[in-house]
Amino acid sequence: MNDEFFMRRALELARRGVGRVNPNPPVGAVVVKNGEILGEGWHERYGGPHAERIAIEKARGKDLRGATLYVTLEPCDHYGKTPPCTDLIIESGITRVVVAMEDPNPLSGNGIKKLRDHGIAVEVGVLREEAAKLCEIFITYVKYRRPFVALKFASTIDGKISDFRGNSKWITDHYRLKSHELRNKYMAIMVGANTVMTDDPLLTCRLEGGRSPRRVILDGRGKLAGGGWRVFSDDVDVYVFTASDAVYPDNVKVFRGEWDVDGVLAKLYEEGIDSVLVEGGASVLSQFLNVADVVHVFFSTRVLGKGLSAFENVEYSLDNAPRFRVERIEHVENEVYMELRPCSRE
């Protein structure tokens, strides 16, 4: 049993926290002695105990001298919502710590040094890539001080997101499932006023045990004034960006002014939102195309002919067209799913 084996287990545990800990990163930890797992844990909810703490507490009563702690992210060394994990590790008697990646937060990141100063052997970089992928939202959030931006759209093979009548309700089972997984993963979801007026969507995550994303509605002209829409009708936080004087229901947080893409993202960062899933329509997708960290595309193998394309509001010539690389491709029955990453920012 080598380090990768246990780190893989720690990553597996970490994944259980996806969507439940934002704007914290998902983290997993495993305590091992003589090849035996004595305790394991993951960061389960925002404000709750860290993965290391849970794993060590699970091993309580056992002699941890000679034990190794595997943790997917550098342990914290500061008082946040919880006391520092470093102190706990040092007190526990653990003699070796394997860390997948350093804390990307420029404001923290003293954990490894602190452990070493206390004579603990620390190894860094085991399954680093997997860990970084799992933490990509957190990395973007703390390094670039803006939310991670995910675009999502569903289109036919001829690139149409709705037919010539504006109809776009053609969700299939596979698409629905993936779509709700994305809503669970990202902390907020963004749509334009037109999408609200056309579909009156709920924008909730309907996965069992899923968490609905906060709502960000771009309503420059105040078309949604007065409410009555389903996005305003439950207890999920709603943020509206508008240049109008429109009055919204009391539960809506309204940001007034002339907002551009960077302004919206800066404001969401201020609000502690680490990630946003831009769902549409074409006008909003077009605006956020150039800041996308990932694009999720679902292809339905139909042809619609005339209709609306996802990015109809921008125009590129072949020389300057944004390019992407295929990070993942899945094919289930008559649906194809692609996860695309921008080439320009790599």
Active site residues: 52
Site for a second copy in 289-308 (CB under 8 A): 289, 295, 297, 301-307
Minimum distance of a second copy from residue 326's CB (angstroms):
6
- What is the Cα–Cα distance from 186 to 26, expressed in whole angstroms? 12
Instruction: Check binding of 313 to a second copy (CB under 8 A).
Output: yes
| Three-state helix/strand/coil letters over 109-167 | CCHHHHHHHCCCEEEECCCHHHHHHHCHHHHHHHHHCCCEEEEEEEEECCCEEEECCCC
- What is the Cα–Cα distance from 155 to 304, expressed in whole angstroms? 10
Of 184-192, 219-227, 260-268, 330-338: span binding a second copy (CB under 8 A): 330-338
Instruction: Check binding of 187 to a second copy (CB under 8 A).
Output: no
Residue 169 or 345 having the CB closest to a second copy:
169
- Out of 35, 80, 167, 177, the residue judged to bind a second copy by CB under 8 A: 167
Instruction: Check binding of 247 to a second copy (CB under 8 A).
Output: no
Which tokens go with 90?
């040092």
Instruction: Check binding of 227 to a second copy (CB under 8 A).
Output: no
Which tokens go with 12?
């597996």
- Neighbouring CB atoms inside 10 A of 155's CB total 20
- What is the Cα–Cα distance from 168 to 307, expressed in whole angstroms? 10
Residue 124 or 343 having the CB closest to a second copy:
343
Q: Are 344 and 330 in contact (CB under 8 A)?
A: no
- What is the Cα–Cα distance from 44 to 54, expressed in whole angstroms? 10
Minimum distance of a second copy from residue 316's CB (angstroms):
5
Site for a second copy in 114-143 (CB under 8 A): none
Residue 323 or 345 having the CB closest to a second copy:
323
- Out of 34, 47, 79, 169, the residue judged to bind a second copy by CB under 8 A: 169
Instruction: Check binding of 262 to a second copy (CB under 8 A).
Output: no
Of 24-32, 75-83, 119-127, 162-170: span binding a second copy (CB under 8 A): 162-170
Q: Are 59 and 31 in contact (CB under 8 A)?
A: yes
Angle at 213 between CA 208 and CA 218, to 5 degrees: 145
List Cα–Cα distances, 181 to 102, 133, 210, 212, in angstroms: 27, 16, 8, 10
Instruction: Check binding of 323 to a second copy (CB under 8 A).
Output: yes
Minimum distance of a second copy from residue 154's CB (angstroms):
12
Task: Show Cβ contacts of residue 318 under 8 Å, excluding neighbours closer than 6 positions.
Answer: none
List Cα–Cα distances, 105 to 8, 9, 230, in angstroms: 23, 24, 37
Q: How many residues bind a second copy (CB under 8 A)?
A: 48
Residue 57 or 335 having the CB closest to a second copy:
335
Instruction: Check binding of 154 to a second copy (CB under 8 A).
Output: no
Instruction: Check binding of 201 to a second copy (CB under 8 A).
Output: no
Written as one letter, the residue type at 150 is A
Residue 42 or 153 having the CB closest to a second copy:
153
Instruction: Check binding of 280 to a second copy (CB under 8 A).
Output: no
| Contact residues for a second copy, defined by CB under 8 A | 155-160, 163-165, 167-170, 286, 289, 295, 297, 301-307, 309-318, 321-326, 329, 331, 333-334, 336, 338, 340, 343
